[in-house]
A and B are shown apart, each in its own frame.
Chain A
């Protein structure tokens, strides 16, 4: 595979920031009650990540090592404020539904993680590709979780009613649990489980081995 393509494809499954590195969980459970909010959030994060990686990589030789985190955060926060203001200007209702979570992209571990681990050491173009790949990996998980939660929690996808709910004379009884935050944890947990069954080498080694079962401890 071409290196550029590999950089985008790797974070989708094998190095997925949410399901493998367990980063960005907070927003993943906050905005996934419906697919439209999840999509907006995914686009906002991906754009911020790509731009931040490019800018930081371009100035990486001029940033003193002691203050590099502050510099990175300043750039990321600036981009996040821009994204937030754009949303408020052109998609006001959506920005109201996302509440504080767009502005919280500034504290998202994926963004700072990629800029600190990759963009500070690599030229701008590969950094932006890396940012794009990680943004898409985050988006993929968000869309899967949001699809499950919205379908079973409200019977709709992107706000379009797919399953007729009982309240409207249909047969489907919405699972209210799906609209609560714990369900996102459970779905992400099951996703992590499924991925490690599918790709066993993603599983970490055991931290300690259980004792071999010998004689029963109790009579």
Chain B
């Protein structure tokens, strides 16, 4: 076991405690759903850990809990099984595990479910007050698991896009907690949202702007999921652009110093 469990996995789990407690009081199917999705995620991780001779980590627990929190209460389990298997295998396991993936696997799970099955409201988030998600925001930012740069970009992107499109979108809503949870855990994931600070800001801006744009056409959770998916696909490109600009600036500076 690695020494990062205390810093990485336990803080992420602790951030989910409040949302889980809130949902448990309102949603009778939460516990079986939790057991099923966490169990399935861990199953896939054990399969790939055995096949590759790697160790196991606890972050699968966080992914499983997030899926169970963000899907509709009446979600059929067989659909969850297909979605989770798809997202966890194709989004994370085939790349060699967490840290090497380029999209957040939970985002892929939710996107797959929303694309495939139209009989469930996958694009609508569960009701959750903003206060339930605030501890997660604080914990993840303090432990560096939600990048502040991405969150700043997100806030700016959402604000600007909402002011341009429809300022009414910024009004308080009963699902704000679930959306904040999705933004903090999925959009601001340190693995998939860029590797340079400027790249992360751009990634956040794009996610926020697209999320507001997509909200005008469908459920808000679906909007956040698809915006995140698209922005994270572009994140390596942003990084590469930022690095190219940086290299050019440094070359120019070196030339200036040489010619002095």
Interface of B, secondary structure class, is helix
Is B118 in contact with A218, judged by CB distance below 8 angstroms?
A: no
- Which of B2, B3, B90, B116 has the most C-beta atoms of chain A within 10 angstroms of its own C-beta? B116
Instruction: Specify which of A173, A177, A216, A218 is in contact with B115 (CB 8 Å cutoff).
Output: A177
Q: How far is the CA of A173 from the CA of B112 in the complex (A)?
A: 14
Q: How far is the CA of A175 from the CA of B82 in the complex (A)?
A: 10
Is A218 in contact with B4, judged by CB distance below 8 angstroms?
A: yes
Is A176 in contact with B116, judged by CB distance below 8 angstroms?
A: yes
A219: chain B residues at CB < 8 Å are 3
Instruction: Specify which of B4, B94, B116 is in contact with A177 (CB 8 Å cutoff).
Output: B116
A178: chain B residues at CB < 8 Å are 116
Is A176 in contact with B2, judged by CB distance below 8 angstroms?
A: no
B26-84 interface (Cβ within 8 A of A): 79, 82
A186 at the interface (CB under 8 A from B): yes
B117 at the interface (CB under 8 A from A): yes
Is A176 in contact with B115, judged by CB distance below 8 angstroms?
A: yes
Interface residue tally of chain A, by bracket?
10 to 19
Number of B interface residues at 8 Å Cβ cutoff, please give it: 13
Is B94 in contact with A176, judged by CB distance below 8 angstroms?
A: no
Q: Type the 1/0 row for A47-59, where 1 means its CB is closer than 8 Å to any CB of B.
A: 0000000000000
A125: chain B residues at CB < 8 Å are none
A177-213 interface (Cβ within 8 A of B): 177-178, 180, 186, 193
Answer whether A173 and B119 are a contact pair too, CB < 8 Å, given A186-B90, A193-B94: yes
Q: How far is the CA of A175 from the CA of B112 in the complex (A)?
A: 10
B111, closest chain A residue (CB): A177
B118: chain A residues at CB < 8 Å are 176
B8, closest chain A residue (CB): A218
A193: chain B residues at CB < 8 Å are 94
A175: chain B residues at CB < 8 Å are 82, 116-117
Instruction: Specify which of B2, B112, B119 is in contact with A216 (CB 8 Å cutoff).
Output: B2
Q: How far is the CA of A176 from the CA of B114 in the complex (A)?
A: 9
B80-130 interface (Cβ within 8 A of A): 82, 90, 94, 112, 115-119
Q: How far is the CA of A219 from the CA of B6 in the complex (A)?
A: 12
Is B116 in contact with A216, judged by CB distance below 8 angstroms?
A: no
A193, closest chain B residue (CB): B94
Instruction: Specify which of A173, A180, A216 is in contact with B117 (CB 8 Å cutoff).
Output: A173
Interface residues of B (CB under 8 A from A): 2-4, 79, 82, 90, 94, 112, 115-119
Q: Please, could you name 9 A-B residue pairs with CB atoms under 8 Å apart, sorted by A?
A: A173-B79, A175-B82, A175-B117, A176-B115, A176-B117, A177-B116, A178-B116, A193-B94, A219-B3
* 9 shortest interchain CB distances as A-B pairs: A177-B116, A177-B115, A175-B116, A176-B116, A176-B115, A176-B118, A177-B112, A173-B117, A218-B4
